[in-house]
C-alpha cells in the first residue's frame, strides 16, 4: 500500500480491516471503497460510530482528531495489502493454486484438492460451494465465489494455523478485476474454459478474458517460496492462448481434442460415473470416478495436469478419483426410490446447460425434462440462448424464477422464451411458464415416468432465492426430496 497522506491519530492500533461499514467492530480500519454506484466515504461516519479507529479513502475526509486518516490512490489495492499484512501474508506459507474460468471452477478446485490430499498433503480450499480447512468442511458463508480481500486473507490465515500445506482458491473474474486476490502469492494458475458471461460487468468478451488472464500474470509476484510455478490451460479452448501468453512461467496443457500434455482416451460415461484412460508424457493410468459427464473428464484432466507439473505420481490421481464425491449441486442425484432420475445441477450459463443436457440425454431412456430460470442483474443476452438450448435438447421444459432481484420474473421468462420460440418450441407442447419454482418442480415430477430424467437447473447448491431485497430460504434438493416424499417415495 502506498499512502499519500496520514493525518489524525497515526498511532491507532488496527485489529481488523473491512470495507463494509455495517460490519465494523471496535478497533477496525474502515476502507472506503468508491464503487460504480456508491462512495464508501459517505459511510465513514457510520463506521466511526461502530468503533473504527482509522479510515482509508481516496480523498481527505473531515474526521474526529482521535481517528486516523489515510489517503491513498487506490483503495481496493490498499484493502488487499492491509488485509494480507494484518494476517502475516498467509499465502507465503501455502502452496497456492488458483482456478479460473467460466464453468467447472468449483469441481476442478475440489478435484485438485483431493489429488493433493491423496499425495499426502494437508489441504484447504475455498469455492463457491464450501470451505475446507484441513479436515473441516463447511458451506461457503460469504455469498460470493471469491469474497473480499479481508475474508480471503482471514481464511488463508486459518488454513496456515490449522497446518494446511496446499490451498486451492476458486478465483472469479470479478475478484481479479476488483483486486480481491491482491497479495495472494499463487504457485499455480488453472484455466478451465471461457464463454460469454458477466458482460454486464466486463463489457466485452475480450475484457472478460483479460480479467481471467490476470491470474496468470500474478505468477510473477515476488516470493520466498521454493515451489516451482506453473500455468495449466485447457488447450481445447481458444482462450487458453490468451492465458498462456499472459503467463511468465511454463504451461502444462490438457485437452481431449487437441495435442496436449495431459489427455484421455477410452472414455466410458454412465449415469453413476465415468471411466477413462489418463495419458501423460510420464505415465498412463486407468481412472474410475463417480463424477458424471464429459465435462468432468476435463476437470479431472486439469487436476492431473497440476499433479504432472508438481511431479505427483498418477496413482494419487487414481486414488482421489476412486473416492471423490461430486460437489453439492453438481449433477447431484436425488434418489428416493422413484423410478426416474432427478438431477440437480448448477448449470446457469448456456455452455454449462448444453453440456449438462447433452450428458443427461445420453443416459435417458425416456423423456428429458428440465426446469430453469435466469437471475436478474446478469447478462440478458444469455437468456434467449438458454431458451434455445432447452428447446433443442429437452423434450419438455418449464421456465421459472431464479433470483430475479429487482427485475420482474415474468420479464426474464419472456426473454428466455424468445429464444425457445425462435428455435420452434410451442407453448403447451414443449414448454410452459410457471414462475413459482416449487410448483414448476412439482409439475415435472408429476409428469415423470419410469426411464425419464428430470433436471432442476441453475440453482445447484444454493440455499436461498433472491427476490428484490429479500433472501428467502430455498433448496432445489430439499424441495425435490420433500415433493418426492409426498408422492409416496422414501
Q: Which is more confidently placed, 195 or 248?
A: 248
Find the helix or strand (DSSP H, E) in which 398 lies: strand 396-399
Average pLDDT over residues 259-283: 96
Report pLDDT for 9: 67
Burial level of 170, CB count in 10 A (0-12/13-18/19+)? buried
CB 72 within 8 A of CB 41: no
Q: Rounded to two decimals, what is the model's pTM?
A: 0.88
**Residues carrying CATH 3.40.1390.10, the chain:** 3-85
* 289 pLDDT above the threshold of 70: yes
* 157 pLDDT above the threshold of 50: yes
Q: Name which of 423, 429, 435, 422 is nearest 367 in CA terms.
A: 429
Reported as a single tens digit per residue, the pLDDT across 75-126 is: 999 999 999 999 999 999 999 999 999 889 999 999 999 999 999 999 999 9
Identify the CATH assignment for 332-486 out of 3.90.190.20, 1.10.3210.50, 1.10.10.10, 1.10.10.60: 3.90.190.20
Q: Name which of 374, 375, 345 is nearest 358 in CA terms.
A: 345
Query: Could you tell me the sign of the dihedral formed by the alpha carbons of 207, 211, 217, 222, in that order?
Result: positive
CB 305 within 8 A of CB 189: no
Give, in order, the Cα–Cα distances in Å from 150 to each of 11, 147, 234: 22, 8, 31
pLDDT, averaged across the chain: 92
Identify the CATH assignment for 3-85 out of 3.30.565.10, 3.40.1390.10, 3.40.50.1000, 3.40.630.30: 3.40.1390.10
Find the helix or strand (DSSP H, E) in which 288 lies: strand 284-289
**Residues carrying CATH 3.40.1190.10, the chain:** 89-323
**Residues carrying CATH 3.90.190.20, the chain:** 332-486
Q: CA 346 to CA 474: how far, in whole Å?
A: 14
Q: Look up cell 424468445; give the residue.
A: 418
Q: CA 139 to CA 421: how far, in whole Å?
A: 39
Report pLDDT for 143: 73
DSSP-derived secondary structure letter, 412? H
Q: Assign domain 89-323 to its CATH architecture.
A: 3-Layer(aba) Sandwich (3.40)
* 137 pLDDT above the threshold of 60: yes
Over its C-alpha atoms, the chain yields an Rg (Å, rounded) of: 24
Q: Name which of 306, 307, 277 is nearest 289 in CA terms.
A: 277
Report pLDDT for 466: 87
Residues linked to residue 132 through DSSP beta bridges, in sequence order: 125, 137
Q: CA 462 to CA 477: how far, in whole Å?
A: 9
Reported as a single tens digit per residue, the pLDDT across 416-460 is: 999 999 999 999 999 999 999 999 999 999 999 999 999 999 998
Amino acid at each position: 500500500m502506498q499512502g499519500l497522506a496520514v493525518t489524525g491519530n497515526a498511532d491507532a492500533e488496527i485489529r481488523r480491516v473491512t470495507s463494509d461499514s455495517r460490519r465494523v467492530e471496535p478497533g477496525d480500519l474502515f476502507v472506503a471503497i468508491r464503487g460504480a454506484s456508491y462512495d464508501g466515504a459517505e459511510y465513514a461516519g457510520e463506521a466511526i460510530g461502530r468503533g473504527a479507529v482509522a479510515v482509508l479513502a481516496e480523498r481527505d475526509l473531515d474526521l474526529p482528531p482521535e481517528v486516523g486518516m489515510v489517503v491513498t490512490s487506490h483503495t481496493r489495492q490498499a484493502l488487499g495489502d492491509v488485509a494480507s499484512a494484518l494476517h502475516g501474508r498467509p499465502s507465503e506459507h501455502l502452496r497456492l493454486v488458483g482456478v479460473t474460468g467460466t464453468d467447472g471452477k468449483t469441481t476442478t478446485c475440489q478435484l485438485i484438492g483431493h489429488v493433493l490430499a491423496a499425495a499426502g498433503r494437508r489441504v484447504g480450499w475455498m469455492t463457491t460451494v464450501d470451505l475446507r480447512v484441513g479436515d473441516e468442511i463447511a458451506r461457503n458463508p460469504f455469498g460470493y465465489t471469491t469474497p473480499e480481500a479481508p475474508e480471503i486473507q482471514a481464511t488463508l490465515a486459518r488454513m496456515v494455523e490449522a497446518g494446511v500445506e496446499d490451498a486451492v482458491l476458486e478465483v472469479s473474474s470479478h475478484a481479479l478485476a476488483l483486486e480481491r486476490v491482491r497479495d495472494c502469492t499463487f504457485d499455480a494458475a488453472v484455466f478451465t474454459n471461457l464463454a460469454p458471461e458477466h458482460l454486464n460487468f466486463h463489457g466485452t468478451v475480450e475484457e472478460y478474458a483479460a480479467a481471467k488472464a490476470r491470474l496468470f500474470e500474478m505468477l510473477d509476484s515476488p516470493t520466498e517460496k521454493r515451489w516451482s510455478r506453473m500455468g495449466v490451460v485447457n488447450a481445447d479452448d481458444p482462450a487458453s492462448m490468451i492465458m498462456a501468453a499472459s503467463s511468465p512461467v511454463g504451461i502444462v496443457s490438457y485437452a481431449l481434442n487437441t495435442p496436449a500434455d495431459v489427455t484421455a482416451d477410452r472414455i466410458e460415461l454412465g449415469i453413476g460415473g465415468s471411466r477413462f484412460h489418463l495419458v501423460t508424457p510420464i505415465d498412463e493410468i486407468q481412472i474410475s470416478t463417480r463424477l458424471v459427464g464429459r465435462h468432468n473428464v476435463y476437470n479431472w484432466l486439469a487436476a492431473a495436469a497440476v499433479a504432472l507439473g508438481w511431479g505427483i505420481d498418477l496413482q494419487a490421481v487414481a486414488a482421489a478419483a476412486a473416492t471423490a464425491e461430486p460437489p453439492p449441486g453438481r449433477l447431484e442425484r436425488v434418489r428416493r426410490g422413484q423410478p426416474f432420475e432427478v438431477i440437480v445441477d448448477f448449470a446457469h450459463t448456456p455452455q454449462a446447460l448444453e453440456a449438462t443436457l447433452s450428458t443427461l440425454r445420453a443416459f435417458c431412456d425416456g423423456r428429458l425434462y428440465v426446469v430453469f430460470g435466469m437471475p436478474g442483474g446478469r447478462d440478458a443476452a444469455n437468456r434467449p440462448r438458454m431458451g434455445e438450448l432447452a428447446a433443442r435438447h429437452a423434450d419438455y421444459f418449464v421456465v421459472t424464477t431464479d433470483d430475479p432481484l429487482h427485475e420482474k420474473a415474468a420479464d426474464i421468462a419472456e426473454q428466455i422464451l424468445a429464444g425457445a420460440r425462435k428455435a420452434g418450441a410451442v407453448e403447451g407442447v414443449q414448454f410452459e411458464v410457471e414462475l413459482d419454482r416449487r410448483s414448476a418442480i412439482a409439475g415435472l415430477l408429476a409428469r415423470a415416468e419410469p426411464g425419464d430424467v428430470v433436471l432442476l437447473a441453475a440453482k445447484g447448491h444454493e440455499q436461498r432465492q433472491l427476490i428484490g431485497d429479500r433472501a428467502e430460504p430455498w433448496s432445489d434438493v430439499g424441495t425435490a426430496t420433500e415433493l418426492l416424499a409426498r408422492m409416496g417415495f422414501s
